[in-house]
Amino acid sequence: MVLDVLNRPAAQSTEAEPSDALSPAPLRPYLILAGVLCGLYFLYSWVQYAHFRTPSWDLGIFGQSVRAYAEFRAPVVDIKGPGFPILGDHFSPVTALLAPLYWIWPSPASLLLGQAALFAASAVVVGRTTQQILGSRAAGIGLTIAYGLSWGLQEAVKSDFHEIAFAVPLLALTCRALLLGRWTAAAAWSVPLVLVKEDMGLTVAMVGAVLFLKGRRRLGAALAGFGVAAFALTVLVLIPAASKLGQYDYWSKIEKTGTGADTSFGQVVAGALGSGERWEMVFYLFAIVGFLALRSPLVLLVLPTLGWRFLSQDPNHWGMHWHYSAILMPVVFLALVDGVRSAGTSPRAWLVSYGKVVIPVAVAVS
């Protein structure tokens, strides 16, 4: 055994052991916090719904598609147009998992409850992972609160139900596995993301890139290839095949400006990089975690989502509004945990000191 350890590549020997040296965190306090968060999320959503303050028609769209799944029919959404196949718009077959909940409570409000539960479940993952890695129950509970009240999740709750509710706990579990050195589990938790929305294949590919950087080159390369292939298959084949127009409509979000005039890709990139509203989104994304998340390779997972949002010509995709930043919250908060862990061994005294106070600061900011 000693010879096996000595002969193991350095990248593998240093990254494969963290989970073995850490004791698991208790579940009960985090379940209590999750119950409170779930109640708050659903209460806010329900008040909006009951008082006709729904900010968009998306709840109706998803309500019709889940109802179709619950009735064992093809997901046709007449709100989008007579006989409109929803899988020809966005590829989100994962929402079929809400059908059993719809059987119990046949109302669009059941989707709001499901989303609240999924968000709250991700808070359990973030909190327990924090305590397990940093060895502090106070840090775990504090970061659970900071994460649960983060602006990305608040905006998603405010925006009614969206399919990304499933991506939030999946990404939390993926990041947890990466932090604990459980490489196969990280890959396994990330793969279902391709069923959440078509762009998530690129996020899966980025998980593969992180695994590659961690020394798991074969697994990382395979996962990255899978993610890119899933993205291409979805937007080039599956969605056009389901669409009445035979195409993926959302390319136009990048190809055209708000006035409908054609633009070159170079002009799109230049306009995106010069947009203050887009950079403000990035600033607040990392400000809520004291910018220490930037020390972790996990932040690479935010690049695909930030990338398409930067390139999009739709102002709804910029800034801090709507639900688009919810999937970034588990990534940056668990990247913060990784940043705090690495800061503790830094030769810079100021960084060590900052790492000790950044979690209380994140709680105060939330």
* Residue 166, in any domain of the structure: yes
Tally the residues of the chain: 366
Assess if residue 9 is contained within a domain.
no
Contact residues for 207 (Cβ-Cβ < 8 A; gap 6+): 174, 178, 186, 187, 190, 223, 224, 227, 301
Nearest to 110 by CA among 68, 75, 77, 62: 62
Residue 41 resides in a domain: yes
| 94 domain residue, yes or no | yes
Give the pLDDT confidence score for residue 3 in this predicted structure.
Answer: 33
**pLDDT at position 262:** 58
Domain that holds residue 127: 24-365
Domain assignment of residue 18, yes or no: no
pLDDT for the residue numbered 274: 66
Which phi-psi region, left, alpha or beta, contains residue 52 (left: φ > 0; alpha: ψ -120 to 50)?
Answer: left
How far, in Å, CA of 161 to CA of 92, rounded? 13
Q: Give pLDDT, residue 261.
A: 53
- The pLDDT value recorded for residue 255 is 64
Tell me the per-residue pLDDT of 114-164, one tens digit each, with 9 for 90 and over.
999 999 999 999 999 999 999 999 999 999 999 999 999 999 999 999 999
In a domain, 48, yes or no: yes
pLDDT at position 25, please? 82
Whether 341 is in a domain gets the answer yes
Count structural domains, the chain: 1
Tell me, yes or no, whether 17 lies in a domain. no
pLDDT of residue 20: 52
Give the global pTM: 0.90
Query: What would you report as the CA-atom Rg of the chain, rounded to the nearest whole angstrom?
Result: 21
What's the per-residue H, E or C state across the chain?
CHHHHHHCCHHHHHHCCHHHHCCCCCCHHHHHHHHHHHHHHHHHHHHHHHCCCCCCCHHHHHHHHHHHHHCCCCCECHHHCCCCEHHHCCCCHHHHHHHHHHHHCCCCHHHHHHHHHHHHHHHHHHHHHHHHHHCCHHHHHHHHHHHHCCHHHHHHHHCCCCHHHCHHHHHHHHHHHHHCCCHHHHHHHHHHHHHCCCCHHHHHHHHHHHHHHCCCHHHHHHHHHHHHHHHHHHHHHHHHHHCCCCCCHHHHHHHECCCCCECCHHHHHHHHHCCHHHHHHHHHHHHCCCCHHHHCHHHHHHHHHHHHHHHCCCHHHCCCCCCCCHHHHHHHHHHHHHHHHHHCCCCCHHHHHHHHHHHHHHHHHC
Instruction: Report phi then psi at 76, rounded to 5.
Output: -100, 130
**Residues 38, 117: contact at Cβ < 8 Å?**
yes
Is 221 exposed, middle or buried (CB count within 10 Å of its CB: 0-12, 13-18, 19+)? Answer: middle
Residue ranges in the chain whose pLDDT is less than 70: 1-21, 255-265, 267-268, 271-272, 274-275
